[in-house]
């Protein structure tokens, strides 16, 4: 993924999102409100105010990512439900966070922006549930095995 050299990775604003009790920070430049996550769509949606500007998002991979075969692929970016053909994307060299810059100048005073990836934070919780279930079965099985062993 190519990013323009003039990108600034230090964003002036931050928004903290709570997903299933876990807090995630979204760093941004521009104006946003009403950030929501949709687990089923693997997306994060923002109400962005254009004022002839660009909405810049710095998204941690722990929150949302877009990969295929262990390689980065572009996020799908929708503005008011339509694919944004002018969005640029890149990677922050120091952290690996994903950057998405969305021009909003051709839209009304407020635009609904949705960033869709291939994974979102709570999916990792499912992995933890599976691991915990396997461990619980192993513990129960080992206790049953110890009770059947003859005592010497």
Architecture of the domain made up of 13-119: Sandwich (2.60)
Tell the residue number behind the tokens 């053909």, with chain if given. Answer: 85
| Tens-digit pLDDT profile for residues 55-92 | 889 999 999 999 999 999 999 999 999 999 889 999 98
Yes or no: say if 70 and 142 are a contact pair by the CB < 8 Å rule. no
| Tens-digit pLDDT profile for residues 94-149 | 889 999 998 887 777 788 999 999 999 865 444 444 444 444 444 445 555 455 65
Q: What's the predicted TM-score (pTM) here?
A: 0.74
**Radius of gyration of the chain, Cα coordinates, nearest whole angstrom:** 21
Yes or no: say if 54 and 81 are a contact pair by the CB < 8 Å rule. no
From the CB of residue 87, how many other CB atoms can be counted at a distance below 10 Å? Answer: 21
Kindly state the tokens that stand for 117: 């990836």
Tell the residue number behind the tokens 């990775």, with chain if given. Answer: 9
């Amino acid at each position: 993924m190519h990013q323009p050299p003039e990108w600034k990775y230090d964003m002036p604003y931050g928004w903290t999102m709570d997903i299933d009790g876990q807090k995630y920070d979204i760093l941004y430049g521009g104006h946003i409100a009403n950030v929501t996550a949709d687990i089923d769509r693997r997306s994060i949606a923002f109400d962005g105010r254009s004022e002839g500007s660009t909405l810049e998002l710095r998204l941690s991979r722990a929150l949302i990512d877009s990969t295929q075969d262990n390689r980065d692929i572009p996020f799908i970016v929708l503005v008011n439900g339509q694919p944004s053909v002018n969005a640029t994307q890149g990677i922050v060299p120091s952290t690996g966070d994903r950057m998405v810059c969305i021009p909003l100048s051709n839209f009304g005073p407020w635009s609904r922006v949705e960033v869709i990836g291939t994974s979102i934070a709570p999916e990792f919780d499912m992995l933890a549930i599976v691991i915990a279930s396997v461990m619980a079965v192993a513990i129960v099985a080992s206790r049953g095995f110890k009770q059947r062993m003859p005592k010497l």
